[in-house]
Amino acid sequence: MSTTAHASSADARMSPMIQQPHASSQQMVTIPQEEIAERAYELFMARGGTHGNDVDDWLHAESELVRARLTRQPKAPDRITAA
């Protein structure tokens, strides 16, 4: 089976929501790598500094930070009162 045929059958199994998500549900969140690394290190130390879970720590840290940014309420604009 060719790669393109395999990819086509995989696409056919995906739900329409996965193939074409709503634009309003997508938000771009950029987390600096330094922040992710710092949180991943905290997770590493919280586990007692045992090695072998660096990728899991990184992905968990990234997920936490993105979720925190998405759930953070936008800052209310300063009100200007007319005199």
Looking at residue 45, its pLDDT comes to 97
The three-point CA angle 31-78-83 to 5° equals 165
What pLDDT score does 52 carry? 95
Measured between alpha carbons, how far is 37 from 14 in angstroms, rounded to an integer?
A: 33
E strands of 1-83, at which residues? Answer: none
pTM score above 0.75: no
* R_g (Cα) of the chain, nearest Å: 20
Rounded Cα gap, residues 62 and 46, in angstroms: 16
- For position 77, what pLDDT does the model report? 57
Report pLDDT for 79: 59
Residues of the chain with pLDDT under 70: 1-26, 73-83
- CB of 58 closer than 8 Å to CB of 40: yes
Encoding tokens for residue 8? 């086509």
